[in-house]
């Protein structure tokens, strides 16, 4: 899961602060330690200077035999754990490491023992023949020789604890400051980034819906103002494009409608050409189209199929174009041979249309081929039976007969409604599918009314 801006920023800042605090502690710690050591070493200098002065004054007063009183008092000083005065120009003397260092450098030597909290200072006593006291008069030495050392151990625990306590206070203040900065920053991120960011999308959607701009007054930062302005102009661009697309769509819709109507008129005209030539009742094709659509709707076909059958059904007899006038317009009854020729119009119609890739023409081909098939398999040209006959063919079969019976033709009067109904019942499950006959009987008045209106 992704982290929020706030979490990312705060984690990064905590890392930076932790590193910064560590660096500050190390730097200040080192400085503190150097300062602390210099103070303690100064104390060692002071004490050793006091001892030297005390011993010198004892020497001058000729009371060196009483110097231990003085040294005992010095040892009682706070922090002084031990003081030793060592003569180094004694030939039998075997100096320790610290004294050797002092003899070599003629300078003081300090050893820090942090574990035991001690500073061991070894301070040189240098021979001097000048001034009021000549060391060389008593010591077998040259000017500048180290004739002795003052070795003292100073307790640094108390001073160290004092320094550490200030250190802890300092770290606590640093942590508190970091916490205050982080807490403030969290509020700032919420106010200036997180909340405005979540708002700007919402405002963008509302602005898009209302065709307006985002009100950027409430965004306090420059960045958010720029973002909201960008969203506003982006939304305007989209709206403009949408408008253009809608206009294109309308044009396309008009064009599509034009093409559909042209196709419809053309197919209807082709049906009518055949209708006029075979001297059928006027407007037969138009009625077949309308009735087929009504049957398709009652049968439960889809909207697309209803439109398709209305478009394609007027061409059901298009194959009759290839039938000669002698048969097509013969006033009397056809001979068996003539009737057989007449029956070829189904296949002929199919052949004319079958190569088309257009949906409407393919549907017209199917209707031409199957509108003389019968439900019981006794129709033509293929003697298809039941559901092997496509639904469009089954519908046009009943519609074609229904219209022929309800209309007057040159060779017959229009049948009475009762007689038509009786025939439909008679042919239920024979010529026509049962469900279609039921629909025809149920809607008989509507269908008959339509036929009359369009005759
Ligand atoms: Fe036909
Ligand atoms: Fe017909």
The ligand whose atoms approach the alpha carbon of 318 most closely is 1
Contact 81, 154 (CB under 8 A): yes
The ligand whose atoms approach the alpha carbon of 350 most closely is 1
* H-helix or E-strand spanning residue 126: strand 118-126
Find the 422 Cα to ligand 1 centroid distance in Å.
Answer: 22
Running DSSP on this structure, what letter comes out for residue 333? P
Phi, psi of 309 (to 5 degrees): -70, -35
Find the 83 Cα to ligand 1 centroid distance in Å.
Answer: 139
Q: Closest by alpha carbon to 298, among 435, 159, 188?
A: 435
Contact 394, 432 (CB under 8 A): yes
Q: What's the pLDDT at 203?
A: 87
Instruction: Confirm whether pTM is higher than 0.75.
Output: no
Find the 98 Cα to ligand 1 centroid distance in Å.
Answer: 133
Copy the structure tokens of residue 68.
């231990």
The ligand whose atoms approach the alpha carbon of 400 most closely is 2
For residues 67 and 63, give the distance between their C-alpha atoms in angstroms, rounded to a whole number: 7
Q: What's the pLDDT at 249?
A: 96
For residues 326 and 342, give the distance between their C-alpha atoms in angstroms, rounded to a whole number: 11
Find the 269 Cα to ligand 2 centroid distance in Å.
Answer: 14
What are 263-321's pLDDT values in tens digits? Answer: 889 988 888 888 887 776 678 999 999 999 999 999 999 999 999 999 999 999 999 99
The ligand whose atoms approach the alpha carbon of 380 most closely is 1
Phi, psi of 379 (to 5 degrees): -85, -165
* Cα torsion angle, 215, 221, 222, 223, sign: negative
Q: What's the pLDDT at 349?
A: 96
Ramachandran bin of 150, using left for φ above 0, alpha for ψ from -120 to 50, beta for the remaining angles:
beta
Copy the structure tokens of residue 75.
């040892």
Ranges in the chain, pLDDT < 70: 90-91, 280-281
């Amino acid at each position: 899961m992704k982290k929020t801006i706030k979490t990312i920023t705060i984690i990064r800042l905590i890392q930076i602060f932790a590193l910064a605090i560590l660096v500050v502690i190390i730097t200040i710690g080192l400085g503190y330690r150097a300062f602390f050591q210099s103070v303690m070493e100064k104390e060692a200098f002071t004490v050793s200077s006091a001892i030297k002065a005390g011993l010198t004054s004892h020497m001058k007063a000729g009371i060196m035999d009483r110097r231990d009183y003085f040294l005992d008092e010095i040892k009682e000083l706070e922090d002084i754990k031990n003081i030793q005065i060592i003569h180094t120009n004694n030939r039998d003397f075997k100096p320790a490491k610290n004294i050797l260092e002092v003899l070599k450098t003629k300078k003081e030597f300090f050893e820090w023992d942090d574990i035991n909290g001690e500073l061991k200072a070894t301070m040189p006593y240098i021979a001097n023949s000048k001034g009021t006291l000549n060391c060389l008069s008593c010591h077998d030495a040259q000017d500048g020789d180290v004739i002795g050392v003052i070795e003292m151990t100073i307790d640094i625990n108390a001073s160290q604890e004092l320094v550490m306590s200030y250190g802890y206070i300092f770290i606590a203040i640093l942590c508190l400051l970091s916490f205050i900065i982080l807490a403030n920053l969290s509020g700032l991120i919420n106010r200036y980034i997180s909340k405005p960011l979540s708002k700007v999308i919402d405002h963008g959607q509302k602005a898009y819906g209302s065709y307006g701009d985002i009100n950027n007054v409430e965004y306090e930062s420059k960045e958010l103002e720029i973002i909201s302005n960008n969203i506003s102009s982006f939304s305007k661009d989209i709206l403009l494009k949408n408008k253009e697309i809608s206009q294109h769509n309308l044009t396309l819709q008009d064009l599509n409608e034009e093409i559909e109507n042209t196709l419809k008129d053309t197919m209807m005209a082709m049906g009518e050409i055949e209708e006029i030539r075979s001297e059928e009742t006027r407007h037969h094709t138009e009625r077949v189209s309308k009735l087929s659509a009504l049957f398709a709707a009652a049968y439960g076909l889809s909207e697309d199929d209803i439109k398709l059958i209305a478009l394609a059904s007027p061409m059901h007899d298009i194959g009759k174009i290839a039938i000669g006038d002698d048969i097509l317009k013969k006033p009397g009854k056809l001979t068996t041979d003539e009737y057989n020729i007449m029956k070829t119009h189904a296949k002929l119609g199919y052949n004319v249309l079958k190569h088309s890739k257009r949906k409407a023409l393919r549907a017209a081909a199917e209707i031409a081929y199957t509108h003389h098939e019968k439900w019981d398999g006794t129709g033509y040209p293929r003697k298809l039976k039941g559901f092997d006959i496509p639904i469009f063919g089954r519908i046009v079969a009943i519609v074609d007969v229904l219209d022929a019976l309800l209309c007057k033709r040159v060779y017959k009067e229009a049948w009475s409604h009762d007689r038509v109904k009786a025939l439909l019942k008679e042919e239920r499950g024979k010529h026509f599918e049962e469900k279609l006959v039921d629909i025809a009987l149920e809607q008989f008045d509507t269908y008959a009314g339509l036929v009359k209106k369009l005759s």
